[in-house]
Structure formats: C-alpha cells, structure tokens
Amino acid sequence: MHAENLRSVVVLGSTGSIGTQALDVIAANPGGYRVAGLAAGGGKVDLLARQAAEFGAEVVAVADASAVPALKEALAAHHARPVVLAGPEGVAEVAGWQCDMVLNGITGALGLTSTLVALEAGRLLALANKESLIIGGPLVKRLASPGQILPVDSEHSAVQQCLWAAGPGGHDPSRVRQLVITASGGPFRGMKREEMTDVTPEMALAHPTWSMGPVITINSATLVNKGLEVIEAHLLFDLPFDRIEVVVHPQSIIHSMVEYIDGSTIAQASPPDMRLPIALALGHPERVPGAARPIDWTKAHTWTFEPLDDVAFPSVALARHVGSEGGTAPAVYNAANEACLDAFMRGRLPFLAIVDTVAKVVEEHQVTPADSVEEVLAADAWARARAAELTAGQSR
Ligand SMILES: NC(=O)c1ccc[n+]([C@@H]2O[C@H](COP(=O)([O-])OP(=O)(O)OC[C@H]3O[C@@H](n4cnc5c(N)ncnc54)[C@H](OP(=O)(O)O)[C@@H]3O)[C@@H](O)[C@H]2O)c1
C-alpha cells in the first residue's frame, strides 16, 4: 500500500496500557497505518522516544515540560527527530495534528481537552478516555458528528458490534429493550461490604481478568469503572438509564449484550484482550485480521452471570443517579473519585471511604448545565478540593 493510503493516527497516552497495545496493533499491520504523532505525561521518556523512532512520528509531546530535556536526549539516542512539544498545550496541539484518527488513551479527566480538540478538528476519535465523554457530556456530544466517536472500551465496542450484528434497524432505540453491560466483578466479587474494610492498594490492583493501568484497575475494584461505563453507554447509545443493565460475568468473555423487544439477546464474545476493541476502532469500518486470539472451542468453557450486589458496591447506583442528573454531576462524581483514589493509593484513605466520600461530595454539589469547558473544570476542581477536605486526616 502507498503511504498516502495509510490511515494516519495520533496516539495520545502512547506509553500507557491502551497506548502500547494500540501501537502493537499498528506494528502488526505495517500496510495499514502511519503514526503521525504521540503524546504522554512524561513519566516514561525512553519508551516514548523508542516509540517515536520505531513509528517515525512527526511530532511528540509530553504534558510535563520538565521532562523535555530527558526526552530530547532519548530521542537523539534513538536517532529520532520529531517536533517536540511540551505542556498541556503541547499535548492539545498533537490532538489537533493533521491525521485521519486520534486515539485518546490518556487516563482521567485530563483527557477532556484532547477529546474536544480532536473532535473540533474533525478527526475520527477512537475513545478510550471515557472520562472526557462522561465529564464533558453535553459539550462533547454537541461537537461530535454521528459516527465520529468510536468506542474503545470493550463493553461499548461490544454493544456497537451487537447493534451492527442486528442488521438494518438494529440501532433503532424503539427495537432495543435494554443494553446489558457486563462486569467482571473485580477482585472483591462476592464479598460483603464489611469484608472489604482492610483492602490495600496491592489487593485492589490484582484484577482477575484484565491487565490495565492503575486508575482503571482500582476503579474496577470499587466498580466505579462500571458506573462510569453506564454513563458512557447512555451518552454513546442514547438510551435512558433504566434501559442499561449491569450483570456480573466473572470470565470476561461476553463483553456486553443488546436485548431486543422480541426477547432476543445478541452478545459479543472474545477472550479478554483490549487489542480487539482497539483494532476495531483503528480499522473502522474494516476488521483487522488477527487482531486478537479467538475463543478456543476445542476446550470446555463455563460462562456464568450473576446480578450486581448494589449494597456491597453502591458506585453503579450512584453513577446512575449522577448520570440522570446530568450537567456537572458526572464531572463531580469522576473528580471526587480520582481524588479519593489518589489518597487511597498513598495510604491516606481506607478503600471503603473512596465511594462513601464520592457520595458525600455528589450530595453537596449544586448541579449546573455543563455548557462550557470552564464550568466543567470548575466543578471538577471544586469536587477535588471538597473530597480533600472531607478525607483530611484519615488513613488506611
Ligand atoms: N487499560 C485498559 O485496558 C483500558 C480498558 C478500557 C478503557 N481504558 C481507558 O483508557 C484510558 C487509559 O487507560 P490506561 O489503562 O491505558 O492508563 P495508563 O496505563 O495509566 O496510561 C495513561 C497514559 O496517559 C499518559 N498521560 C498521563 N497524563 C497525561 C497528560 N496530562 N497528557 C497526556 N498524556 C498523559 C501517560 O503517560 P506517562 O506514561 O508518561 O505517565 C500514559 O501514556 C483510561 O481512560 C481508561 O479508563 C483502559
């Protein structure tokens, strides 16, 4: 294939779990893609420089400007000469760089600007950074044209595939009874609330089925991640919260389902491997051959499903509440959680206090419409500050 026929991609968060797996998919398909730009926080400059050299990126940015000298040194050592940009503005410039598609694999609320810039520039957006859609809901939806956002989260990629599989009319909301989002249940599945009193970060980081970055892994232990995904599903597929069900499926093979009004349910199944949903977004509308291993049908399998325990894991019901409130409420839920998760990781907060504190911050918040970036960022900052006040002096 000629270079001009390659899909040019910008990978944001290229040194993270999603970013490195996206580059794996690209490396395995040399005739399919060209990497136009890379961006990361600045914590792993040698990896970033190696990526820039291997993929011939035109531009590289790090959010932490103090990492630039080390990055330049590493780039020289790898004989790579991309344009180097620094700071959040540099990352935003890469998000708007000339290309066909931006993959946003930044973690947390910090990804909002990049999502908005990529959409505004008219790029296809492969969205792993669910937080930007959730906190910027109305803003992001206003900017995005139909089909411009391609979900990378495995559950939403699965829903998308189920809707396609249902054929013409499969997307028609009047034919869909509900979306069924699956959850592994995390490392504490089956435990009662009181059994989670002494959970440590090491225990919360031991996810049974997925290997992911630290924030999403802890969010999977509290099930806040599932709460965020319910809001994400509502925003992506335009269904009300009472038609988005969560079911616990410990094997993580069925990634989600769509139930139709005639009682038929379509499910998407594959072994847990993020390279599949990443490839589905990168290759859209084509499928990428060999992106991930399929299910081995020569072996016996048992797939089980159980209802979510909302008493032990109140985070999903809380997410439904903030999602239904809309406006700045989801941004407050997310920001309070990010602040509490950080405190938990530093040994300054017990595990159960994460969601308890998020609930208190959400309750105190006066919701506004989230019509501007400033309003979202102000709600985000307020929630972080309030969470810090409420948790001051606590320890694990
Ligand atoms: N991992 C998964 O399997 C998975 C599955 C579904 C959805 N997601 C979603 O995908 C997103 C990324 O998750 P992850 O697990 O890949 O996280 P991760 O492993 O922690 O990686 C985060 C990436 O973001 C970069 N970064 C941090 N701050 C940044 C900033 N201010 N500007 C630009 N880049 C910055 C990091 O760079 P440094 O290395 O320099 O810090 C790193 O490259 C999250 O929204 C998560 O919920 C992940």
Q: Do you find a cis peptide bond into 285, omega within 30 degrees of 0?
A: yes
Name the helix (H) or strand (E) containing 155: helix 154-165
Domain stop point among 119, 151, 183: 151
Average pLDDT over the chain, rounded to an integer: 96
Domain-embedded: residue 368: no
- Shared domain for 143 and 224, answered yes or no, is no
Sheet with 83-86: list strands edge to edge: 83-86, 59-62, 33-40, 7-12, 101-104, 124-127, 149-151
C-beta 94 within 6 A of ligand 1 = no
Domain-embedded: residue 44: yes
CA atoms within 13 A on the CB side of 8: 18
- Shared domain for 111 and 216, answered yes or no, is no
Mean pLDDT of 275-281: 98
- Shared domain for 207 and 124, answered yes or no, is no
Find the domain containing 304 and state its range: 158-325
Domain-embedded: residue 374: no
Q: CA 162 to CA 384: how far, in whole Å? A: 37
Q: CA 145 to CA 147: how far, in whole Å? A: 6
Question: Ligand 1 centre from 13 Cα, in Å?
Answer: 5
41 annotated to bind ligand? yes
Question: Ligand 1 centre from 216 Cα, in Å?
Answer: 9
Domain-embedded: residue 390: no
Residue carrying the six token digits 């006040």 = 389
Give the chain's domain count.
2
- Shared domain for 115 and 242, answered yes or no, is no
Q: Helices 315-325 & 224-237, crossing angle to 10 degrees?
A: 30
393 falls in which pLDDT band (50, 70, 90)?
A: confident
pLDDT digits 0-9 by tens, 124-182: 999 999 999 999 999 999 999 999 999 999 999 999 999 999 888 778 888 999 999 99
C-beta 129 within 6 A of ligand 1 = yes
Q: What's the pTM?
A: 0.97
Tokens of 71: 């990055």
- Shared domain for 163 and 311, answered yes or no, is yes
- Shared domain for 110 and 207, answered yes or no, is no
C-beta 230 within 6 A of ligand 1 = no
| Residue whose C-alpha is closest to residue 227's, from 318, 350, 298 | 318
C-beta 212 within 6 A of ligand 1 = yes
Phi and psi at 99, nearest 5°, equal: -170, 175
Domain-embedded: residue 134: yes
Best probe residue, ligand 1, of 11, 12, 17, 103 (max atoms within 8 Å of C-beta): 17
What's residue 1's pLDDT? 46
From residue 128, alpha-carbon distances to 102, 108, 306, 368, 387 in Å are 11, 10, 27, 26, 26
Judged against a pLDDT cut of 70, whether residue 4 lies above it is answered with no
Domain of residue 88, CATH code: 3.40.50.720
245 annotated to bind ligand? no
Which residue's alpha carbon is at the smallest distance from atom 13 of ligand 1?
107
Domain stop point among 127, 151, 175: 151
Tokens of 35: 């990497």
132 annotated to bind ligand? no
Burial class (CB in 10 A: 0-12, 13-18, 19+), 367: middle
Domain stop point among 118, 151, 184: 151
- Shared domain for 133 and 282, answered yes or no, is no
